[in-house]
A and B are shown apart, each in its own frame.
Chain A
Amino acid sequence: AQKITQTQPGMFVQEKEAVTLDCTYDTSDQSYGLFWYKQPSSGEMIFLIYQGSYDEQNATEGRYSLNFQKARKSANLVISASQLGDSAMYFCAMRESLRKAGTALIFGKGTTLSVSS
């Protein structure tokens, strides 16, 4: 079974608009972390935002926010005021059992975001 599901292979948005990238996850652990990474066409993996399973507030980092709905096991990324430079692949990822050191970060298949002017 997929641990991380990103159902949107591609998303299109106009500059200055907001966009939501979907992510659902599957875990039986009570303690876990959720991450979003951005991969531009140059290929590097850039960390965007983190949400811990016990965090009561939704995480925010500048124009990025994470809409965390624990009961639904969803962790959607919201990008406000899209910019052309936001065009990239976006990966949702999860780490289970934060108590265990070195636990692998498992990625979803990614969503390609295209921002147009």
Chain B
Amino acid sequence: EPEVTQTPSHQVTQMGQEVILRCVPISNHLYFYWYRQILGQKVEFLVSFYNNEISEKSEIFDDQFSVERPDGSNFTLKIRSTKLEDSAMYFCASSPGQGSNEKLFFGSGTQLSVL
């Protein structure tokens, strides 16, 4: 079964550094998402992306965050200047279209640790 692929699985960075989290969504999917989960807590929506632009974003997704689809396969989340509180599991997800039973397919996540 096709799956969403995320790299790296773990990322350690120093506070103030830039990080880029990478995702390869399922190939025929059109809608892409980033979520984050602070350890043991709820899964929080960050941003959704369709047709090469952001379609929706949460209040968490401030100017420090950006997303990009640089080519036909990758979908990236960039954090410009990481803070300690950015430490979390970041999930990428994709979905095929506008079907009424449209579920999100999640990647296995990138665990980001900011020191």
Taking Cβ atoms with an 8 Å cutoff, the residues of A that contact B are 33, 35, 37, 42-45, 47, 50, 52, 91, 93, 95, 98-99, 101-110
Contact = CB atoms under 8 A, between A and B. Distances in A.
A101 B55 contact: yes
Looking at B42, B50, B104, the one whose CB has the most chain A CB atoms below 10 A away is B42
B43 A101 contact: no
B101 A33 contact: yes
Contacts of B109: 43-44
B63 to A, nearest CB: 19
Contacts of A50: 101, 103
Contacts, number: 68
A52 B106 contact: no
Given A33-B101, A101-B98, A102-B31, A45 B49 contact: no
Query: Chain B interface mostly helix, strand, loop or mixed?
Result: strand
Contacts of B102: 33, 95, 98
B5 interface: no
Interface residues of B, number: 30
Interface in B73-114: 89, 91, 93, 97-98, 100-106, 108-109, 111
Interface in B36-64: 41-45, 48-50, 55-56, 58
A6 B108 CA distance: 23
A41 B33 CA distance: 22
B93 to A, nearest CB: 8
A45 B34 CA distance: 13
B106 A108 contact: no
Contacts of B55: 101-102
A-B pairs, top 4 by smallest CB distance, nearest first, are A45-B106, A102-B55, A107-B43, A104-B45
B56 A104 contact: yes
B72 to A, nearest CB: 18
Given A42-B108, A44-B106, A101-B55, 7 more contacts: A35-B103, A47-B104, A98-B102, A101-B98, A103-B56, A104-B56, A107-B42
